[in-house]
Amino acid sequence: MVWVNDIIQGILLGGLYALFAAGLALVFGVMKLVNLAHGDFSILAAYLALAFVGLLHINPFYTLIIVIIIMAIFGYVIQRGLFNFAMDAGPMQAILATFGIAIIIQNLLLEGFTANSKGLDAGKIENAVITISKQIAIGWFPLTTLIVSVVVLVALQWFLGRTRTGRAFRATADNQRAAQLMGIDNRHLYGMAMAVALAIVAIGGVFIGIRTTFSPSAGPLRLIFAYEAVIIGGLGSLWGTLVGGIVLGIAQVLGDHIHQGYGILVGHLVFLAILAFRPQGLFARQVQ
């Protein structure tokens, strides 16, 4: 029964990773850009929430709205102000530009908030649990996280499938030049895609900030988890990111169960095993 509990905890953790992975997958899908600053953007969101909590003395959940809006605007601006030009310069230049931004964000946060770990205090929900049996207990907060991530993915799918902008995203993902000939302004669209991605990442950043502590140097690991979830799930698959996140979450929880501190390593090894034996991911490339 202990194992069942581990798997449940892993699934719940996977929901959180899916929130990071979805943004990464969206940006890659639409503009073929691997954003190395993705994890640092999530940390930035967590620090924003922290700043608003300190300023307004409210529950971090309420800061979500403002943090999402700020991150979305930030995403649009940085895409149009820098990344679009970087992508014009070439794919390698684009990766290197995002790497530069990652290092800048890490060190700005270090200067602004010191290297100490911080946390967001969401009150009672953090410790509330639903006890199912002696060994199985589901935390309200991790459950909320999973539900939110599923809702976000459903909303994203609806957005991509049913709205005009969403269809433009898919058209650009399929064939950028043809989409441009149909009158789609790709520079604006890329800005929109980054805005949506960072809005999702903002949710993930605030949620993980409530779940665990964070520090300015925590970004790269978030990027790696998101990336592993994307590769495990399969490139180009939206729901694959959720499955990838869940596989990664279960691997980490089970790893930690085997030996305290092995969790992250086991997660990496599962990722490398997938890369070695099924490089196309669990869900082969499919239409978003």
Partner 1 sequence: MAKQSKDHVKVERYTRTSRVALPVAAAIVIAAATIPAWGSSAIMKQSVTLLTLIGLAQMWNLLAGYAGLVSVGQQAFVGIGAYTLWVFADKFHLNPFASVIFAGIVAGLFAIPTAGLAFRLRGGYFAVGTWVIAEVFRLIVTQIKWLGGGSGFTIGSVNSVSRHARESITFWLALGVAVGSIVLVYFLLRSKRGLALTAIRDNDLGARGLGVNITRSKLWVYIIAAAGTGMVGSVIYLNLLRVQPEAGFSLQWSALMIFSVVIGGLGTIEGPIIGAVIFFILQQVLSDYGTWYLILIGALAAGVVVFAQRGLWGTLVRKKAVDLFPVRRRLCLETVCFTEETPRKSGEEPGRLPSEEPPAV
Task: Map residues 39-78 to x or -, x wherever contact with partner 1 holds by CB under 8 A.
Answer: ----------------------------------------
Token pair of 66 as six digits: 């403002």
**To the nearest whole angstrom, how small is the minimum distance from the Cβ of residue 172 to partner 1?**
18
Cα(156)–Cα(162) distance, integer angstroms = 10
Between CA 235 and CA 246, with CA 240 as vertex, the angle to 5 degrees is 125
**Residue where the block lists tokens 């922290």:** 50
Cα(191)–Cα(188) distance, integer angstroms = 5
Cα(125)–Cα(60) distance, integer angstroms = 12
Q: Which residues are 130's β-sheet partners? A: 138
The interface region with partner 1, picked from 4-12, 53-61, 155-163, 215-223 by CB under 8 A, is 215-223
Give me Rg for the CA atoms of the chain.
19
The interface region with partner 1, picked from 63-71, 87-95, 124-132, 168-176 by CB under 8 A, is 87-95
Q: Is 150 in the site for partner 1 (CB under 8 A)?
A: no
Q: Of 61 and 85, which CB lies nearer to partner 1 in the complex structure?
A: 85
Q: Is 282 in the site for partner 1 (CB under 8 A)?
A: no
Cα(263)–Cα(246) distance, integer angstroms = 14
Cα(101)–Cα(147) distance, integer angstroms = 31
187 with 27: CB under 8 angstroms?
no
**To the nearest whole angstrom, how small is the minimum distance from the Cβ of residue 18 to partner 1?**
17
Q: Is 107 in the site for partner 1 (CB under 8 A)?
A: yes
Task: Map residues 230-259 to x or -, x wherever contact with partner 1 holds by CB under 8 A.
Answer: -x---x------------------------
Q: Is 103 in the site for partner 1 (CB under 8 A)?
A: yes
Token pair of 87 as six digits: 């992508």
Q: Is 224 in the site for partner 1 (CB under 8 A)?
A: yes
Binding region for partner 1 (CB under 8 A): 28, 32-34, 36, 82, 85-86, 89-97, 99-101, 103-104, 107-108, 110-111, 220-221, 223-224, 227-228, 231, 235, 261-262, 264-265, 268-269, 271-272, 275-276, 279
